[in-house]
């Protein structure tokens, strides 16, 4: 997970404050959350619970209705409680913290009489580490919708930045594995070069295996080949355009694609800011040059006025009674 700045954390908190994220198995694995270490603290005692979903303002947990915790929570309606989060970070470090809040509601979970969902509203902004983890996932989900078909052309540089060791991989078409070469990727699909004939490719179900580094993982994406275009000068090699099944697009894959697109956006903003600063400095220099030129011109005018010859009194005419030509002849 990339290091984020305070500005980025504030962006996550301000823009995604009320956006909830479900704690699926996929999300729990990415977070490295240990469900056995999640507790509700009430009246000085701790009880295990299951996190159902969370936002930056509240968390929903699942508790049993037949244990002592439920009665304690009912008595504590609108009262203070604390929830303990626990995560195993990729670095090997363990991260745990309590977030204080108050109960704002209870309801049955999936019409069960044995389980209930308890909604806890946070009293204050949660820790930055929590905002960073949850913000990354929410941002990836949002961009996966808004930038679903935005293609990333693959070459040595983009593969390196995505953490893909090479452009060659394996695609399984109708149960038959084949070697292929990746040409581009997006949240919603891919393009690969593969041996075959169009009639045996188009509208066929596939599974694309992608190897990633740091951390090492294999992500499998299922989908369908929408079209196949022959390569130049070849009738046995096709560029296959793939659309992924949305239910097979894992959170881990979304994070990989979003991380790359976000880095591009960050570089664009940095370059734009750098260019604006250059233009600003150029404008300041040009303005300074203009001011210096104006100052030099003004100084030259003043010198010219000081050095101009002055007329003697006998050479000056009385402007109130100028001599006429006739008087001059007389």
Region of 214 please: left (phi>0), alpha (psi -120 to 50) or beta. Answer: left
**pTM for the whole thing?**
0.74
Instruction: State the pLDDT at residue 293.
Output: 84
Which residue has better confidence, 153 or 324? 153
pLDDT at 5 over 80: yes
Give tens-digit pLDDT for 12-41.
999 999 999 999 999 999 999 999 999 998
Instruction: State the pLDDT at residue 307.
Output: 76
pLDDT at 179 over 90: yes
Give tens-digit pLDDT for 203-251.
999 999 999 998 899 999 999 999 999 988 788 899 999 999 999 999 9
pLDDT at 329 over 50: no
* Banded model confidence at residue 330, pLDDT cuts 50, 70, 90: very low
Which residue has better confidence, 269 or 64? 64
Instruction: State the pLDDT at residue 82.
Output: 92
Contact 20, 53 (CB under 8 A): yes
- Alpha-carbon gap, residue 107 to 105, rounded angstroms: 7
pLDDT at 317 over 80: no
Average the pLDDT over 56-67 and give the result: 91
Q: Which two tokens stand for residue 315?
A: 């050479």
Cβ atoms within 10 Å, residue 232: 6
Give tens-digit pLDDT for 264-291.
866 555 555 666 667 777 777 888 888 8
Residue 205 dihedral angles phi and psi, to the nearest 5°: -75, 140
Average the pLDDT over 258-265 and give the result: 86
Give tens-digit pLDDT for 70-129.
877 777 666 789 999 999 987 788 999 999 999 988 899 988 888 999 999 999 999 999
């Amino acid at each position: 997970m990339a290091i984020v700045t305070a500005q980025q954390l504030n962006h996550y908190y301000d823009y995604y404050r009320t956006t909830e994220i479900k704690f699926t198995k996929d999300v729990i694995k990415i977070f490295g959350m240990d469900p056995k270490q999640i507790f509700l603290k009430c009246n000085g005692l701790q009880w295990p619970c299951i996190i159902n979903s969370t936002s930056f303002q509240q968390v929903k947990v699942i508790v049993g209705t037949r244990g002592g915790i439920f009665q304690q929570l009912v008595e504590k309606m609108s009262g203070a409680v604390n929830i303990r989060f626990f995560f195993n970070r990729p670095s090997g470090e363990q991260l745990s913290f309590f977030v204080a809040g108050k109960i704002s509601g209870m309801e049955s979970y999936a019409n069960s009489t044995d389980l209930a969902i308890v909604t806890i509203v946070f009293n204050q902004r949660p820790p930055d580490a929590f905002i960073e983890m949850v913000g990354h996932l929410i941002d990836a989900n949002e961009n996966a919708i808004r930038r679903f078909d935005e293609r990333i052309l693959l070459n040595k540089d983009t593969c390196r930045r995505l953490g893909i060791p090479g452009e060659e991989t394996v695609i399984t078409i109708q149960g038959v594995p084949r070697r292929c070469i990746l040409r581009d990727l997006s949240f919603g699909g891919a393009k690969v070069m593969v041996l075959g004939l169009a009639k045996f490719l188009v509208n066929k179900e596939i599974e694309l295996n992608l190897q990633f580094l740091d951390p090492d993982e294999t992500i499998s994406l299922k989908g369908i080949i929408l079209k196949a275009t022959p390569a130049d000068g070849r009738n046995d090699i096709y560029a296959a355009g793939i659309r992924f099944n949305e239910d097979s697009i894992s959170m881990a894959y979304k994070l990989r694609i979003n991380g790359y697109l976000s880095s591009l956006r960050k570089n664009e903003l940095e370059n734009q800011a750098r260019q604006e600063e250059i233009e600003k400095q150029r404008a300041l220099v040009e303005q300074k040059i203009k001011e210096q030129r104006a100052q030099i011109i003004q100084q030259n005018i003043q010198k010219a006025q000081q050095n101009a010859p002055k007329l003697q009194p006998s050479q000056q005419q009385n402007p109130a009674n100028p001599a006429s030509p006739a008087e001059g002849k007389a």
